[in-house]
Structure 1
Amino acid sequence: MTTTLLPARRKDQPRDARLADRRSRQDHPSWFLWPALAMLVIFFFTPTIYNFVYAFTDWSSFKSEIGFVGFDNFVKLLQNGSLLSDLRVTLVYAILVAIFQNLFGLGLALVLERDTRINRFARAAFFVPVIMSALAVGYVFQAILKPDGVLNNFLTTLTGGEVSIPWLGSTTWTIVVVAIIHAWKWMGLSMLIYLAGLKTINEEVIEAAQLDGAGYWRIFKAVRWPLLAPAVTFNFATALLGSMNGFDIVQATTAGGPGGSTELLNIFIFRTFGQGLFAQATAMSLVLFLVVALLAFPVIIYLRRRERVL
């Protein structure tokens, strides 16, 4: 009897699988996707297409008609010199943010790795800035770092002498300070990604390294760091490419100053659009889009290749 039942079950399995798939499709009809798809088309794809179109026109607030001008907007931007300068500042800012954010996030993940009550509370506390408004964070740090702000008052009390350091007034170091603020806001997200990566490491591998006499830092360098390669890829790529589109924190703290040393490309676009030069602002946003796209692929390919090597 058993020999006759087993083949019958094998024959029924593909049919049962098809029926299960059909029932799942009925339980989750495809028309549920249409509202989300409509929002994506209206608020993402359509503005992106218009961004490509208006970049080649003379659209502005000084005339009612819009005409096609070809590459004139891009030629003017290159002749102006501000585009290349702001693009350089944006790249420096993005690299600094990616470095600081990953250092802070990895450090927190290693310190708070143990699953204790205090560590759980600390993880939640460090994640709070991630869900805060970026503009609010920028304005708070602006109040803290101004010459008569909280930080200088604290240092005055601590040292007993008058301290009035212009933390946001240096044309050389202000971009570093603002990048640290940006990294501080998002380090909680990097911390969670690194914590998830640390939790996936097999404890037997670490125990084997300990039996071989390896210390904490040797194990981290030779075992844990290579196994964190996927987390490093995600954190570094998101931090680098996300900060390329930075605007709110820098606008709230320095507004691009002093002397344009922290003027990101998005701040330049915002100011140009406010002057009524809509087509030039659109051309600059198109340049930023292309730069981010051209930067994304090599970075992701390199980090993915690094994962395979490690």
Structure 2
Amino acid sequence: MKNAKNKKGPVMSQTVLTGSAASVKQDSGRSESVGRNYKNQVMKKNYPLRFLVPAGIVLLIFFFIPTVLNFVYAFTDWSAFKTSVSFNGFDNFTSLFKNGVLLRDLRITLTFAVCESFFQNTFGLILAVFLEKDTFENRIARVLFFIPVLMSALAVGYVWQALLQANGALDQILGFFAGRTISTAWLGSTTWSIVIVSAIQGWKWAGLAMLIYLSGLKTIDEDVLEAAQIDGANGWQTFWKIKFPLLAPALTFNVATSLLGSMNGFDTVQATTAGGPGGSTEILNLFVWRTFGQGLYSQSTMMSLLLFVVVMIIAIPLIWYLRRREAKIL
């Protein structure tokens, strides 16, 4: 009997402890639930949903409704030369595909986007590496390189157009150092004009990429860099083996935004070349603008719809790949 009583003692105490832990867990769950309810009440009181109504109305009128109408009117014969609108299926797409305009402008747009993304990220990464230290001179340089981001793209395009035209400012500067007159049509080549225009666009947005890369460099642990120095790694090895891989989140953001954003470019190309020479820089949005100005509303709408589809086709696998790469590195 005594042994039986002794055996029951630990079991009863264990049951009591288990019940106490369950009650503590239940009380903590209740407190968390009460805390969430209180937080939700405070949020509803201080930030009521009616504050979203003005922004919702603006989005509905200027974004959602035009987007839906864009899908509708792309399959109609809507134009300035007809008083009625009727559906015509894929006739707009077929006519654009047959005359070669669609494929040509799509190829030019993709070339412009890839080159612009390359220049923007290259310029931005170089600036971030050289201006990483928080010195007074570097802070001034960061501000100066960020100024083009704040400027109008049309203004930047017109300035560069004046610099690069034949007998322009760049030719005069080169002629001064060469001791002779230089006249070069920098934007007159059907092969290299799109590369030059994309470099101008990349230069304009390099300041934004610089800030993103700078923020990524600031998050790298100093102990990791110090360990690399102790192991004998030089500056070049430290950058490519440690800093650059750890910049994967910044690289993901910059590559995605620059590549997809440049596919919607318009103003820089319009200000510098206006689609010339010979249509070699006529990106898709430039053609949409011209077609709409000619009164062919349905064809321009079809082109904008195709651009939306192309951007989505590129965006989904691109972001998936960059995120997967980022997860492997980090």
TM-score strictly above 0.5:
yes
Determine the C-alpha separation between the residues in 2 that align with 1:71 and 1:12.
60
- The residue number in structure 2 matching 1:152 is 171
Determine the C-alpha separation between the residues in 1 that align with 2:167 and 2:34.
76
When Rg is computed on C-alpha atoms for both structures, the one with the higher figure is 2
1:37 aligns with 2:52: no
Determine the C-alpha separation between the residues in 1 that align with 2:207 and 2:290.
31
Counterpart pick for 1:72 among 91, 96, 111: 91
- The residue number in structure 2 matching 1:173 is 192
Q: Which amino acid aligns with 1:76?
A: S
- The residue number in structure 1 matching 2:9 is none
Moved more, 17-26 or 231-240: 17-26
- The residue number in structure 2 matching 1:4 is none
Shift of 1:309: 1.8
- The residue number in structure 2 matching 1:162 is 181
1:264 aligns with 2:283: yes
Q: For residue 147 of structure 1, give the secondary structure of its aligned residue in structure 2.
A: coil
- The residue number in structure 2 matching 1:3 is none
Counterpart pick for 1:216 among 230, 235, 246: 235
Shift of 1:161: 1.2
Shift of 1:209: 0.6
Q: For residue 109 of structure 1, give the secondary structure of its aligned residue in structure 2.
A: helix
1:286 aligns with 2:305: yes
Determine the C-alpha separation between the residues in 2 that align with 1:15 and 1:86.
59
Determine the C-alpha separation between the residues in 1 that align with 2:204 and 2:110.
19
Residues 76, 206 of structure 1: alpha-carbon distance in 2 compared, 3 angstrom cutoff: same
Shift of 1:96: 0.2
Determine the C-alpha separation between the residues in 2 that align with 1:16 and 1:112.
46
Counterpart pick for 1:253 among 272, 278, 300: 272
Q: Can you list the C-alpha shifts for 1:231-270, whole angstroms capped at 9, x where unaligned? A: 0000000000000011100001000100111110111111
Determine the C-alpha separation between the residues in 2 that align with 1:264 and 1:13.
55
Q: Can you list the C-alpha shifts for 1:12-37, whole angstroms capped at 9, x where unaligned? A: 56434422331222111111111111
Residues 14, 276 of structure 1: alpha-carbon distance in 2 compared, 3 angstrom cutoff: closer
Q: Can you list the C-alpha shifts for 1:263-297, whole angstroms capped at 9, x where unaligned? A: 10111111111111110010011011100111100
TM-score (norm 2): 0.90
Determine the C-alpha separation between the residues in 2 that align with 1:300 and 1:238.
10
Counterpart pick for 1:138 among 121, 145, 157: 157
Shift of 1:44: 0.6
Residues 257, 207 of structure 1: alpha-carbon distance in 2 compared, 3 angstrom cutoff: same
Counterpart pick for 1:21 among 27, 40, 44: 40
Q: Which amino acid aligns with 1:160?
A: G
Q: Which amino acid aligns with 2:244?
A: W
Residues 81, 13 of structure 1: alpha-carbon distance in 2 compared, 3 angstrom cutoff: closer
Q: How many residues align?
A: 306
Residues 271, 13 of structure 1: alpha-carbon distance in 2 compared, 3 angstrom cutoff: closer
Determine the C-alpha separation between the residues in 1 that align with 2:105 and 2:38.
59
Shift of 1:104: 0.2
**What percent identity do the matched residue pairs reach?**
58
Determine the C-alpha separation between the residues in 1 that align with 2:32 and 2:271.
62
Determine the C-alpha separation between the residues in 2 that align with 1:279 and 1:17.
51
- The residue number in structure 2 matching 1:299 is 318
Q: Which amino acid aligns with 1:213?
A: G
1:93 aligns with 2:93: no
- The residue number in structure 2 matching 1:112 is 131
Q: Which amino acid aligns with 1:209?
A: A
Determine the C-alpha separation between the residues in 2 that align with 1:287 and 1:148.
40
- The residue number in structure 1 matching 2:103 is 84
- Structure 1 ranges of 4+ moved more than 3 A: 7-14
